[in-house]
Amino acid sequence: MHPLGRVLAFSQKCRRFSTNVIDPNSIQPKLCVVGSGPASFYAAQQILKALPKVQIDIFERLPVPFGLVRFGVAPDHPEVKNVINTFTKTAQDPRVKFIGNVKLGQDVSLAELQNAYHSVLLAYGAEEDRLLGIPGENLDNILSAREFVGWYNGLPNNKDLKFNLNIEKVAIIGQGNVALDVARILLSPIDLLKKTDITEYSLAALADSKVKEVKLIGRRGPLQVAFTIKEFREMLRLPRCFVNMNAEDFAGLDAIVPNLPRPRKRLTELLMKSISTSKETEADKCFNPIFFRTPKSFQSGEDASSVGALTVAVNTMEGENAVETDVLETIECGLVLRSIGYKSIQADSAIPFNSKRGLVENSGGVIQPGLYVSGWLGTGPVGVILSTMTNAFAVGQTMASDILNNTVDASIKKPGFEFIGSLLKKKGIQTVSFADWEQIDKVEQSRGKEKGKLREKIVDVKEMLTIASGKP
C-alpha cells in the first residue's frame, strides 16, 4: 500500500473508533491556513464556528488578500466580488490573523508550519497554466488567458506583460467561462470598462486596441461547451458586436435538445437561437465560437517572431470524445490566448503532489491527520466560488472534528505565530496584517474615486509594502 494510503486508512480508523469528544471550550488549538482565497476563508468560517477558542493564522504570498476574487474575477463582474465582505468579517474576528507577504516554499516551509501549529490547511490554489505542447507555441503574442487576466486585474507578476493589441483577429483556445471573460474584455466598448476596477494601463491599451474579431476554438461541439448561460448571454448583449457560429455544427441537435438536463438544455437552446445574431449591419466587432477543431501548430505572420495563423484539425465526435480527421484548416490570428485550464504546483517538496493531475493527493480534503487541503489545490482548478465554498466548508468541518475527536491532539503545546513570526523576522521579511491591507484598500479606493472608478489597484508589491508600513 502507498504510504499516503496507509496514513489515510489510519486517519479514517481513528475517526471511526474515537468516542471521546472533547469539550470545545477546554482547548485552544492553533491552526494555520496557506493562501487567502475563498478556499481559505470559507474553511476558516467553519472552524471558527466549531472551535470557540481556536487561533487561525492565514499566510498569503501577496501583501493583499482574496486570491482569484481580486485577481481572477472579471472587473465588469463587481457583484461576484461581494464575497469579500464576508471574508473581511472573518479576517476581523479576533481569533484570526492575516499574515500577508509570506510565501510557503520560499519564506516558510511546510515542516516549520507543522511544528508550529496543530493543523495546517493548504489552500494556495492553482497559479500556473497548461500548455498545448504544439509547434510554434513559443511565438510572440501567444499567451495564456491566465496571464492576460492577471494583466488586466493587476496581478503584480503580470503587470508588465508584453503583447500587441494592434491586430484585428484573436484566437482563444478553450470554451470555458475564463475564455468568455477574456473574449468579453477584448470586445467590450471601453466605456463599459471605465468605471470598473480594471487597471489603468490595461484600460489605456484596450482603448487603443484594433481587435475586431475573437474566435473561440473548441475541440468538441455546442453540446460540450464549458461556459455557462449567464456568460454567453453577456456576449449576446455586447453593444456593436455580433455573434456568429456555423449552422452546420448544430445539425441534428433539434432532436437531442428536449432530452438534455435542464441547464444544458437552456444553454443549447440559446446557442441555437443565436447562430447568427442580426446586429451584423450595425456591428463592427464579431464573436465567433468555432467547434470541432483541435489546434495542431502555430505559424508566424508578417513579423517572423509573432503568431500570424493557427492550423487546426477538423474533428468528428465519437460519443463525448472528439476524434481528429486528416482535414486541416488555417485560422488567421495575430494574438492567441490559451484558455485550457489552470494548474497547481508543489509549493514545498514535502507536499504529496500528483503532478499528472496537478493537485495535492487527498481524501475528502485530508492529506494526513493535521494536514489538509481545500479549494482548487485539492479539487483541481475547476468550479466557481460556490463549489469552492462547499468543498472548503466540508474540509473546515473535518479539521474541527479531527481536533474534537482527538485524531489531532490539541493538548500538545504549540508555539504558533510566536515561532513563525520570529523566524520571518530573522529572515527580514516584512509581514502585512489585515489592518495594513485595509490601509492599502483605502488608498486604492480613494485613487479610484479620483478617476470615477470603483478602485485603482496598486500593482507593485514594493508600493503595497510601503503603504502597509505606514511610512509612505
C-alpha 50/C-alpha 441 separation (Å) is 30
Helices (DSSP H) in 176-261: which residue ranges? 177-187, 190-193, 200-207, 229-237, 253-256
Minimum CB separation from ligand FAD for residue 389, in Å?
A: 9
How many other C-beta atoms can be found within 10 angstroms of the C-beta atom of residue 129?
A: 17
Mark the segment that binds ligand FAD (CB under 6 A) among 30-38, 237-245, 299-307, 394-402.
30-38
C-alpha 33/C-alpha 87 separation (Å) is 14
C-alpha 37/C-alpha 87 separation (Å) is 9
Minimum CB separation from ligand FAD for residue 333, in Å?
A: 21
Is 452 marked as a binding-site residue? Answer: no
Is 459 marked as a binding-site residue? Answer: no
Minimum CB separation from ligand FAD for residue 83, in Å?
A: 8
Nearer to ligand FAD, 313 or 360 (CB): 360
Minimum CB separation from ligand FAD for residue 183, in Å?
A: 12
Residues 387-426 that bind ligand FAD (CB under 6 A): 388
Is 175 marked as a binding-site residue? Answer: yes
Is 177 marked as a binding-site residue? Answer: yes
Minimum CB separation from ligand FAD for residue 19, in Å?
A: 34
Nearer to ligand FAD, 107 or 249 (CB): 107
Contact between 37 and ligand FAD by CB under 6 A: the answer reads yes
Question: Mind giving me the DSSP string for 47-83?
Answer: HHHH-TT-EEEEEESSSS--HHHHHTS-TT-GGGGGH
Nearer to ligand FAD, 120 or 149 (CB): 149
* Whether 285 contacts 209, CB under 8 Å: no
> Closest by alpha carbon to 316, among 340, 294, 298, 289?
294
Minimum CB separation from ligand FAD for residue 71, in Å?
A: 7
* Whether 157 contacts 144, CB under 8 Å: no
C-alpha 82/C-alpha 85 separation (Å) is 6
* DSSP designation for 414: -
Q: Give me 469's grid cell.
A: 508600513
Nearer to ligand FAD, 257 or 461 (CB): 461
3-state secondary structure of 453: coil
Contact between 124 and ligand FAD by CB under 6 A: the answer reads yes
Residues 59-88 that bind ligand FAD (CB under 6 A): 59-62, 67-69, 72-73, 77, 80
Is 92 marked as a binding-site residue? Answer: no
Minimum CB separation from ligand FAD for residue 106, in Å?
A: 7
Contact between 461 and ligand FAD by CB under 6 A: the answer reads no
C-alpha 365/C-alpha 382 separation (Å) is 15
C-alpha 150/C-alpha 219 separation (Å) is 25
Nearer to ligand FAD, 61 or 184 (CB): 61
Is 68 marked as a binding-site residue? Answer: yes
Q: Which residue in the set 57, 181, 213, 456 belongs to the binding site for ligand FAD (CB under 6 A)?
A: 181
Contact between 440 and ligand FAD by CB under 6 A: the answer reads no
How many other C-beta atoms can be found within 10 angstroms of the C-beta atom of residue 285?
A: 19
C-alpha 171/C-alpha 140 separation (Å) is 14
Is 432 marked as a binding-site residue? Answer: no
* Whether 471 contacts 460, CB under 8 Å: no
Pairing of strands 335-338, 142-144: parallel
Minimum CB separation from ligand FAD for residue 214, in Å?
A: 16
Is 39 marked as a binding-site residue? Answer: yes
Q: Which residue in the set 183, 347, 410, 468 belongs to the binding site for ligand FAD (CB under 6 A)?
A: 347
Minimum CB separation from ligand FAD for residue 335, in Å?
A: 17
Contact between 132 and ligand FAD by CB under 6 A: the answer reads no
Is 178 marked as a binding-site residue? Answer: yes
Nearer to ligand FAD, 210 or 427 (CB): 427
* Whether 81 contacts 59, CB under 8 Å: no
Contact between 290 and ligand FAD by CB under 6 A: the answer reads no
Helices (DSSP H) in 250-316: which residue ranges? 253-256, 262-273
Is 79 marked as a binding-site residue? Answer: no
β-partners of residue 372 are 121, 366
* DSSP designation for 126: -
Contact between 373 and ligand FAD by CB under 6 A: the answer reads no
**Binding site membership: which residues?**
39, 60, 68, 104, 175-178, 219-220, 231, 376, 383-385
Q: Which residues bind ligand FAD (CB under 6 A)?
A: 34-40, 59-62, 67-69, 72-73, 77, 80, 103-105, 123-125, 127, 149, 178, 181, 342, 347, 375-377, 383-386, 388
**Binding site membership for FAD: which residues?**
39, 60, 68, 104, 376, 383-385
